[in-house]
Structure 1
């Protein structure tokens, strides 16, 4: 007969083994996503909804790396087939397309569109200025945009600035004059929100939600905004079509399954819960 101490030890081992092989204690499957700064909040909302959708069998874990599109692309090129991401969600078409055409061994499949964004001139509650009519002319105070060489939203802002009456050439190296820059669109938004700059060009998704059929603007009582449409005849810019692409990386079968499930969720295959989150943050669907 087993002693009481031995019975406790045997029970402890059996319990540990049961925990290790039960679904609740299964090894977590991790997927890493490199995401353009503008889409980071939306992506986190999609991930939370995805995790709830798969709650019964959920062993999924996501790691998100947030940066400018160019920095994320360069990290993929530097990784040379070792990652560092499983999925790249760019803020434009050019970056994933360049990976496909010039670094085909680093990607899987072709770029796919997941959202279309829009550009907004925004002034926060701190250091507020009424810019509802758009960017002033002549310029008399500093404002901010994302670095046009790294961030598609910054490039779009530079295209607006190249039109009359400001007529700042798109070949201009920023910062210049009153136009200051931040590394990506999230740091640009933060610099306006905290009052470092009275206004700046931000992603619409940072200051707008659409819980039903009507857009709701962030703290509209104490802030102001002016949306620039890509097809505005006076101040046009390249439409901000956002594309993603799958990246070559060593993955287990479980990771491949998770990645496929997430891509379907993101693009509306099987359920519209993911695409509904994209629309909630005032993006348009492809």
Structure 2
């Protein structure tokens, strides 16, 4: 028994010696699944993913200015590609980890109809939207409103969030009657968690392809590669799809 205990301690010490932290910049829409994935990742590998959440555009500016992030989970595919082209990301590591879905949502039950006709009726005071210059979900919302020929009519009612997390906060606290948010923020295990919503058809905007990439500071870091590898596992995929994302 004593010999077995000694062996277990030795094995744990060996795992601890190789465990490391990885600094991960995560698009705000992916907050909930990223937290769950990080917890599973640590249990499975011993590595710890230290997560920071924000707008993709702002993360880009921080990364090019030397922020210590080693992995980037963006809300689009163009920003990681740009970082790769500029030599700020490791070539060949980029892939689409999730495909996002835009939703028009209100914390009020039965307020948003299943076809989004409330936008035509205009029976609301404030509409929350993420900054389209830095948040891909905000850009998708602008595309949707433009396609519906409603942008000019509803623009005076905009309440703009810095990122999709703040946009959701505006809608969830009543500072806005409704908002264009990520489905992952209001959806879990196949159902809406609260309020009422219109899931925006994908044809209304460009696909929200969300890419992951290892950044320059994560090059040759085993924990960074391990985190990206874990994102491709069946367990990570199950978590991602449970929040309403699609896989590519």
- TM normalised by structure 2 equals 0.87
1:136 Cα deviation from its structure 2 partner = 2.3
Match of 1:160 among 134, 138, 144: 144
Match of residue 39 from structure 1: 30
Match of residue 245 from structure 2: 283
Unmatched 5+ residue regions in structure 1?
Answer: 1-17, 170-174
1:262 aligns with 2:227: yes
Match of residue 67 from structure 1: 54
Match of 1:217 among 164, 184, 192: 192
Structure number with larger C-alpha Rg: 1
- Secondary structure of the residue aligned to 1:63 is strand
Contact 1:151 1:185 in 2 (8 A): yes
Change (3 A) 1:277 1:138: same
Distance 1:266 1:117 in 2: 15
Q: Deviations over 1:6-49 (max 9, x none)?
A: xxxxxxxxxxxx99x93476485110001110012111111111
Change (3 A) 1:84 1:227: same
Q: Deviations over 1:120-141 (max 9, x none)?
A: 000114xx66112314224352
Match of 2:167 among 179, 184, 188: 188
1:263 Cα deviation from its structure 2 partner = 1.1
Match of residue 116 from structure 1: 99
Q: What are the equivalent positions in structure 2 for 1:1-286 lying under 5 Å apart?
A: 22-23=13-14, 26=17, 29-54=20-45, 58=46, 60-79=47-66, 83-101=67-85, 103-104=86-87, 106-110=88-92, 111-125=94-108, 130-132=111-113, 133-134=115-116, 135-140=118-123, 141-168=125-152, 176-210=155-189, 215-219=190-194, 223-231=195-203, 236-249=204-217, 256-268=221-233, 272-286=234-248
- Secondary structure of the residue aligned to 1:242 is strand
Contact 2:214 2:225 in 1 (8 A): no
Distance 1:146 1:282 in 2: 19
Q: Deviations over 1:135-180 (max 9, x none)?
A: 42243521111010110000000111112341439xxxxx940122
From the two aligned structures, give the one with the greater helix fraction.
2
Match of residue 4 from structure 2: none
Unmatched 5+ residue regions in structure 2?
Answer: 1-8
Contact 1:138 1:166 in 2 (8 A): no
Distance 1:163 1:129 in 2: 24
Change (3 A) 1:96 1:24: closer
Give the aligned CA root-mean-square deviation in angstroms.
2.3
